[in-house]
Amino acid sequence: MPLWIRPQSFFQTNPAVASQLYATARDWVRQLPVKHMWDLFCGVGGFGLHCATPDMQLTGIEIAPEAIACAKQSAAELGLTRLQFQALDSTQFATAQGEVPELVLVNPPRRGIGKPLCDYLSTMAPRFIIYSSCNAQTMAKDIRELPGYRIERVQLFDMFPHTAHYEVLTLLVKQ
């Protein structure tokens, strides 16, 4: 799947492994009863664009306007019309919403999603959370802040072989 990128937009820099990461997330999402999802910290939309189906409503949120411009361009070229991408802070977006999607996908920077977003997700209680992280320690810390969720699946992706850099994809299910 083609993804547009620009100099100031985030993108997984190992395209072969990123493709496997996105395909795994897509496979997991397609096994779930999801018609509405949020893709928080979405970068250029890699996860959302791979996971979306033509009848799915998806909102992608990323702080960087250049990345959002790329996501919008890719969505338009793919003919996905029920996708909305906005340049906003992910935590501020989520905490201002009244609706609850079935799935929230997060792919935060190394620092994780943080306590305010964890608290809100716990209260909002989507049925599913997919968490992708390049830092298993901050991901584990965030998951501890999500009571009421159990880990259903975990997969490691070796982003840069022979280094300590990896990506972990985790599916959390509301208990």
Instruction: Find out whether 12 is annotated in a ligand binding site.
Output: yes
Instruction: Return the structure tokens found at 114.
Output: 């943080």
Instruction: Find out whether 41 is annotated in a ligand binding site.
Output: yes
51 is catalytic: no
Instruction: Find out whether 152 is annotated in a ligand binding site.
Output: no
42 touches 113 (CB < 8 A): no
Residue 114 has, within 13 A of its CA and on its CB side, a CA count of 13
Instruction: Find out whether 62 is annotated in a ligand binding site.
Output: yes
DSSP state for residue 162 in the 8-state scheme: T
Choose among 111, 14, 10: nearest CA to 68.
Answer: 10
CA distance 12 to 44: 10
Q: Which of 42, 51, 70, 134 is catalytic?
A: 134
The residues, ordered by sequence, that sit 6+ positions from 19 with a Cβ below 8 Å of its Cβ are none
Catalytic positions are 134
Can you say which residues are annotated as belonging to the binding site? 12, 41, 62, 107
Can you say which residues are annotated as belonging to the binding site for S-adenosyl-L-methionine? 12, 41, 62, 107
